[in-house]
Amino acid sequence: MKKLYFVAMLAFAATLNLYAQSTKSSVYKINGPQVSQPLPTIMMEGLPPLAIFDLNDYFSHPDDEPISYSILSNSFEEVAGAYINQDIYLIIEYQSAGQTTLNIEATSNGITISSKMIVGVLPFIEGDYAVSDFESFELQPESFWNGADESGGFESGLGHFHNDYNSEFGSWSGWAYSNKTDNTTPGWFNQHSAITGQGVFSQTSEETGTYALAYNPQSLKFSNPSAHQIKGLFVTNTAYAGLSMKYGDDFSKKFGGTDGTDPDWFMLKVWGMKNGVASDSVEFYLADYRFEDNTKDYVLETWQWLELSDFGKIDSLTFQLSSSDNGDWGMNTPAYFAIDNVYIVSDLAPEVVTLPNDINLLFGNEGHSIPLTGIFTDPDDDDELIEVSVLDSYNQDLISIEMVDGNLNIIPVNNISESTEITLEALSNGKTITGSFTVTMQSTVDVVENKLSEISVHPNPASGHFRLAGINQHDVVDLELITLSGQVVLIKNNFNPSSVVETNNLAAGTYLLRIITISENLWTKVVIK
């Protein structure tokens, strides 16, 4: 009996062993492909035009069974085309700026799995710009600045970024900057990371780059008070906001809901402002789940370009975030976003149109007035906004200068013969240009005859009158007769050169005759009575 029992037990054990082997073989046969490492999120400027990935680096089979690949979907083919080459290579062709999601399918032994790859294409920006790229800030690796030093903000390029820090609660609002690379840790404690984990053009972990973060609606102003044209900037989500939308958290819903069909969205709106008035606005979706084709739904996980050039000349930008996910206390989606590389158009300097002619003045007269309009122009701004000033390099012992009602008044202050240069400076939108002209003073005791030696006075000395010769008799001129001390004793306006100048009422002595024609001020010979 015991022998029969022992034989039966051996048979049962053998059966169990066969079953185990059969089960093991069955499990082995149904093994399929696995994701050995996640497909990367890539960002390219479109150069080079192709990217190639060996999909066997991202999928594997436990027993090295062959795997076939296909592209299940490409959310935005206009951004990047994609195809499989030689059964294992994923070829991506960059088309236009934007973000697309590729769903790659791997099949082996009749079993199929899929993994997604996010592709961001960035435009190549050309031109003369002042760029706020935040790279001049000194940060230790994996660190950030959020205003804890209570300095109130920072500047990069032409941009001024305001910060409010609450030392009591250790919290901030406004702008911060960071080089953190953690784009996988969810929650508020990772509020200082961009979801890209790097700056806009950083291609390696050794060059993560620095970027700016914004919390709550904020404005971006300029480091000088002038108006400027902004070409645009790059924008993306922060890790805190992006991960909360992808997966949900204690405060925010998972975008798309449980079945992925909820029409959720997260939007950044930007206004261009000038003197407190909005010139225009743009809307940019940081996440959008409103598509009928749910393969197009996305949370922005790459840097993308936000074109702002249609705003024209502005003095600030205003930002505002809104979301489809709202509760009793307002928006549930974390009110954060990140920017990098703000391109501000480099303003052209004003130019000289025409400078005043060199001027000759005699001590004792009322001076000379020059209109300032039309001397300078600004190629890309309103000429009425040009500020003209006089540099103090001129001889202030020789002349004084007043600027009244858009005119430059030059007044002699000393009875000496000397020249000085007046330099005008035009300021427009932080750019300047200068131009100069010469003022020559003639002393009343050191008068030299002028270049028009053909003009003569006769008779000279003049007992009761004199005439002019050498002037076209049809010209109309103004005359002034001036004593050597600078006193004007005779004025003839609109004088006909063919007429005589009466001197009977003048005291005997030496006088200077000033002849003013329609073209310039002229001095002639000394007149003696």
Token match 């009322």: residue?
366
| Tokens found for residue 445 | 């005791």
Range 456-528: architecture per CATH: Sandwich (2.60)
Residue 196 to residue 177: CA distance in whole angstroms: 14
For the chain, the farthest-separated pair of C-alpha atoms sits apart, in whole angstroms, at 173
User: May I ask the CATH class of domain 129-345?
Assistant: mainly beta
Question: Is 232:161 a contact under the CB 8 Å cutoff?
Answer: no
How far apart, in Å, are the Cα atoms of 277 and each of 207, 314, 426, 429? 40, 9, 27, 19
pTM for the predicted model, two decimal places: 0.70
Distances (CA, A) of 382 to 172, 222, 426: 39, 19, 13
Closest residue by Cα to residue 51 from 20, 87, 76, 81: 81
Q: Which positions ≥6 away from 407 have C-beta within 8 Å? A: 369, 370, 371, 372
Query: What CATH number should be reported for the domain whose range is 351-442?
Result: 2.60.40.10
For residue 146, give both structure tokens: 């959020």
Q: What's the CA gap between 26 and 271, in Å, rounded?
A: 63
The sheet with strand 477-483 has its strands ordered as 488-495, 477-483, 510-516, 521-528
Q: Could you tell me if 80 and 71 are in contact, meaning their C-beta atoms sit under 8 angstroms apart?
A: no
Q: What is the DSSP string of 201-263?
A: T--STT----EEEEESS-EEEESSSS-EEEEEEEEE-BHHHHHHHHH--SSSPPTTTTTT---
Over its length of 529 residues, how does the chain's per-residue pLDDT go in tens digits?
434 333 344 343 444 344 344 444 444 445 899 999 999 999 988 677 899 999 999 999 999 999 999 999 999 999 999 999 999 999 999 999 999 999 999 999 999 999 999 999 999 898 889 999 999 999 999 999 999 999 999 999 999 999 999 999 999 999 999 999 999 999 999 999 999 999 997 644 455 799 999 998 789 999 877 788 999 999 999 999 999 999 999 999 999 999 999 999 999 999 999 989 998 999 999 999 999 999 999 999 999 999 999 999 899 999 999 999 999 989 999 999 999 999 998 878 899 999 998 888 877 666 788 999 999 999 878 888 899 999 999 999 999 999 999 999 998 888 888 899 999 999 987 789 999 999 988 776 544 444 445 677 888 888 888 888 877 655 667 888 888 767 888 888 888 877 888 988 888 888 888 877 654 556 667 888 8
Distance (Å) of CA 258 to CA 242, 246, 281, 290:
17, 11, 34, 15
What secondary structure letter does DSSP report for 288? E
Q: What is the 3-state secondary structure (H, E, C) of 22-81?
A: HHHHHHHHCCCCEECCCCCCEEECCCCCEEEEEHHHCEECCCCCCCEEEEEEECCCCCEE
Burial class (CB in 10 A: 0-12, 13-18, 19+), 11: exposed
Task: For residue 229, report the phi and psi dihedrals to the nearest 5 degrees.
Answer: -100, 125
Domains 351-442 and 456-528 share a fold: yes
Domain residue spans in the chain? 1-29, 34-121, 129-345, 351-442, 456-528
| Single-letter residue type at 215 | Y
Dihedral sign, Cα of residue 265, residue 266, residue 271, residue 277: positive
- Three-state SS for 17? helix
Q: Are 475 and 518 in contact (CB under 8 A)?
A: yes
Q: Can you give 389-421 as a three-state secondary structure string? A: EECCCCCCCCEEEEEECCEEEEEECCCCCEEEE
Question: Any idea which architecture 34-121 has in CATH?
Answer: Sandwich (2.60)
Residue 502 has φ and ψ, to the nearest 5°, of: -75, 135
